[in-house]
């Protein structure tokens, strides 16, 4: 049975690959895709979603406009990582597209219509927080939120990419993340602890091999990730991991922890802090209960990416 799914993203190279994975996964009933600010401005995200849909020949997926800025603070776009166009400057054609409406209306209406709704967010959590604030019953109608975000220190790789302890999506709107984490929503957070695990990261040699032997998306892959490879020395496809988890839930393990989001610290703004005092009763620990991924089967993740996104049998629909 198809799972009703909403994708909330800010493409971004890894968001774009996550979108391709979802589109090529028959397990999902994709209700719509929300374009948010984040890696790039909202209008660029919107255009990139349509670029991917057009490239794959998909014309039956609705796209909605999300937020253009955080609840508080400013936006730091990631043009250095994702290119001015958000897709690694690969000049993928844009044939146009019209948004079907606004994210908050879509989120609330979908939550009322579907009893087993899953939301995958690979962007700042602003739109999810606004839906929570708009309707007190929203959290009770959503089965779960799977969020790519946070650096929790549960593995050697769970440190920040916007600071010593802050991950980009949470850093971009920590107030929204705090609202979502504390809302009672069933949150599964897929953070840098697992998305940067070496088993799930692509080396320069792997990128070259994919470019030589891949399909329609695989051949674009080396150019899409060239800036990431130059800056970071390897390529983590962060935002595809939560979608891959819905394809095969054995690829991740989650731990139930208490998390606080730092809202004020000059050095730790946006940090996701785990209260490790497990000897304390839950009501005495700081933060809110969140399921945080602390292990990944990187080999299986790469298999899914090859079979459904990058490999030679994957092309335009």
Instruction: Give the strand pairing for 272-274 and 252-261.
Output: antiparallel
Q: Which residue has the tokens 């019209």?
A: 98
DSSP string spanning 143-179?
A: EEEEEE----SSSTT---SSSSSB-HHHHH-HHHHHH
Asked if 75 and 169 count as a contact pair (C-beta separation under 8 A), the reply is: no
Secondary structure class of 305 (helix, strand, coil): helix
Which conformational region is residue 69 in: left (phi greater than 0), alpha (psi within -120 to 50 degrees), or beta?
Answer: beta
Q: What is the sign of the dihedral through the CA atoms of 207, 196, 5 and 69?
A: negative
Catalytic annotation, pick one of 74, 82, 175, 238: 238
Cα–Cα distance for residue pair 175/13, rounded to 1 Å: 25
Instruction: Write down how long the chain is.
Output: 317
- What is the phi/psi pair of residue 196, to 5°? -100, 5
- 74 in catalytic set: no
CA angle 229, 235, 240 (to 5 degrees): 145
Among the listed residues 146, 124, 265, the one whose alpha carbon sits nearest the alpha carbon of residue 194:
146
Catalytically active residues, by annotation: 238
């Amino acid at each position: 049975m198809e799972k009703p799914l909403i994708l909330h993203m800010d493409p971004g190279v890894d968001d774009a690959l996550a979108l391709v994975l979802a589109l090529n996964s028959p397990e999902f009933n994709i209700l719509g895709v929300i374009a948010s600010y984040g890696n790039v401005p909202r209008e660029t995200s919107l255009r990139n979603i349509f670029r991917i849909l057009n490239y794959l020949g998909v014309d039956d997926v609705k796209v909605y406009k999300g937020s253009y800025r955080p609840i508080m603070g400013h936006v730091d776009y990631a043009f250095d990582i994702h290119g001015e166009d958000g897709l690694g400057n690969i000049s993928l054609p844009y044939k146009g597209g019209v948004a079907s409406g606004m994210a908050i209306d879509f989120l609330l209406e979908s939550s009322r219509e579907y009893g087993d709704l899953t939301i995958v967010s690979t962007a700042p959590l602003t739109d999810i927080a606004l839906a929570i604030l708009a309707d007190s019953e929203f959290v009770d109608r959503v089965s779960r939120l799977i969020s790519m975000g946070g650096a929790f220190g549960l593995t050697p790789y769970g440190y920040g990419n916007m600071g010593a302890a802050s991950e980009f999506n949470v850093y971009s709107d920590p107030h929204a993340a705090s609202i979502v984490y504390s809302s009672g929503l069933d949150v599964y957070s897929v953070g840098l602890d697992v998305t940067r695990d070496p088993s799930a990261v692509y080396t320069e040699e792997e990128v070259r091999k994919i470019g030589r032997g891949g399909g329609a998306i695989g051949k674009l892959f080396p150019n899409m990730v060239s800036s990431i490879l130059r800056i970071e020395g390897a390529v983590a496809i962060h935002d595809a991991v939560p979608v891959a988890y819905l394809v095969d839930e054995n690829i991740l393990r989650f731990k139930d922890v208490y998390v606080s989001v730092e809202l004020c610290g000059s050095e730790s703004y946006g940090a996701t802090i785990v209260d490790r005092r497990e000897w304390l009763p839950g009501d005495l620990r700081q933060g809110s209960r969140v399921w945080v991924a602390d292990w990944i089967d990187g080999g299986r993740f790469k298999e899914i990416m090859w079979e459904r996104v990058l490999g030679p049998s994957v092309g335009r629909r």
